[in-house]
Homo-oligomer: A and B are copies of this chain.
């Protein structure tokens, strides 16, 4: 991996930073964030502006370029990669280290007094704008919106924004029509006394209209905005895809409809001017609801007194609670996914001893088996296929430079998932194809105890997921072990594999309470640097729990695993499990046997079925 030479590019950028064609006044610094205009987790090539200017292609990082300096802030996952990909023009700012200045502090330390710091207001989310702007202002500088993106100005061969065909989802998948979703949204708007709601996150647009796309990798979304009024619906989306008869039919574009359900289709790029027109025409008490992750440009289009900003939108909260059709779809998707993984692990068991299976080959094989399943669309994230020391790199993705061969002497960790038309999967299994050491089994068993502690937890309705995080760690903590990531995230229904507003992580306090129908992951781990990684991840559904005393009718909740893939019993030190935990494992495996066994049988996958039956034998209790 040789670094990208950026001398010429930086020279060009510094020129446009003072070129009146692009900036009203020269800016002394220009911020290039990671994200796109929708704060997407996965972005399209045309939005990889930070990678273009710096060479650094990791998923997280912010570049700031001044007259004299070019600096890149990124976190521990990417220190090595950024150092390799960037040339000497760049200073790497290692976030999380004690001596690394924040972007604001660094700017204040290098800028001449009264400087202007530019940023594309279409890219920067409102909450970040506010924070940065306040910090700069208190030091005598100004954060200024630069309308034309300065990277685009010098990016002569910038790829086009993707505009792939759409998938329509009927009621059997979504359970609720887009019309009913609009009705429910408008009732939330009425509750909060807002007249307009601006949909800016791509998965929220997709969910609202029961449409899916493939404009970016892994997330089945498409570039669009929507503005929902109490009597109007505007969808901002480009291209011929609105000519597709299936889409026109789905959205009833050519039908005679009550005016409040008539969708006005407008160009993607016209959102700002349309919103400005709405902003200009508001009468007192007509508020506009936006996410505080909406771009500053959109928020700015609405006069301050009329803005209603929230951390979570009503769509985000509604989307998190899956209805019966979505839940059933998720179940089907997880059954198919388990079939693919049974095939994979059976295949690995035979092939690994030959010494010919690399991490990349294993990842490709997993994709191959998944793609054989009905309604498979694509992967839901980049497969983490890692063996031995690579398993300890939490966000590892095998590349030719790091690709390691699986062996009977090392632990193998596979964290993978797929998008099916009926649901999204995300599962991690940690396997040993030889004989694990006592220490490896001990660590695996603590992780398993943590996994079970969350999965079997019973808790009152209204409990926030972050309050369950410590349950997953308790067994590890008892021995002085821990893992440095959260325990779980929300999972979409044929949508983003990571979604808010719920999860199971000590890192936030602002998650929404768990309720029946929400779907999250349960994925504690343990990582021994330079040696191995262990993670056991199921996707679980929040369901009502029966309890002895149903405290003040508040009701109780627990989890039901949707993921049904055997947990390797060879890795378990049964002496460390309680009887209750042993029973949990046996009952889980019994369910895998019944549900996945039947499907393997149906699909005629007899060898994988034999593997499943072998791997789901009850635990042998110590005498």
Contacts and interface: CB of A to CB of B under 8 A. Distances in A.
Given A470-B467, A471-B470, A509-B509, A480 B305 contact: no
Interface string A317-356: 0000000000000000000000000000000000000000
A305 B482 CA distance: 42
Nearest to A453: B474
Nearest to A507: B509
Interface stretch (A173-181, A548-556, A589-597): A548-556
A547 B480 contact: yes
Interface stretch (A64-72, A398-406, A455-463): A455-463
Given A470-B470, A509-B509, A556 B457 contact: no
A468 interface: yes
A138 interface: yes
Contacts of A479: 547-549
Nearest to A470: B467
14 contacts: A457-B474, A458-B477, A460-B477, A460-B480, A464-B506, A467-B470, A467-B506, A470-B471, A479-B548, A479-B549, A480-B549, A480-B550, A480-B551, A480-B556
Nearest to A307: B138
A478 interface: yes
A485 to B, nearest CB: 14
Contacts of A305: 138
A457 B469 contact: no
Contacts of A459: 470, 473, 477
A361 interface: no
- Among A305, A460, A478, max chain B CB count under 10 A is at A478
A481 interface: yes
Interface string A528-568: 00000000000000000101111100101000000000000
Nearest to A139: B305
Contacts of A457: 474, 477
A478 B459 CA distance: 7
- Among A459, A468, A477, A506, max chain B CB count under 10 A is at A477
B470 A551 contact: no
A75 to B, nearest CB: 18
Contacts of A481: 549, 551
Contacts of A550: 480
Contacts of A508: 509
B478 A547 contact: yes
A460 B138 CA distance: 37
A474 B471 CA distance: 9
A600 to B, nearest CB: 35
Contacts of A464: 506
Contact of A548 (B473, B480, B506, B551): B480
Contacts of A460: 477, 480, 482
Given A460-B482, A480-B551, 18 more contacts: A138-B305, A457-B477, A458-B480, A459-B470, A464-B506, A468-B470, A470-B470, A470-B471, A471-B474, A477-B556, A478-B547, A479-B547, A479-B548, A479-B549, A480-B550, A481-B549, A482-B554, A509-B509
A412 B460 CA distance: 27
A441 B477 CA distance: 31
A492 to B, nearest CB: 26
A457 to B, nearest CB: 7
Contacts of A458: 477-478, 480
A392 to B, nearest CB: 12
Contacts of A551: 480-482
A554 to B, nearest CB: 7
A548 B549 CA distance: 38
Nearest to A476: B551
- Among A305, A460, A464, A468, max chain B CB count under 10 A is at A460
Contacts of A480: 458, 460, 545, 547-551, 556
A551 B479 CA distance: 8
Interface string A426-468: 0000000000000000000000000000000111100010011
Contact of A467 (B469, B478, B547): B469
A512 to B, nearest CB: 14
A515 B56 CA distance: 39
- Among A467, A480, A551, max chain B CB count under 10 A is at A480
Nearest to A479: B548
A477 B456 CA distance: 12
Contacts of A482: 460, 551, 554
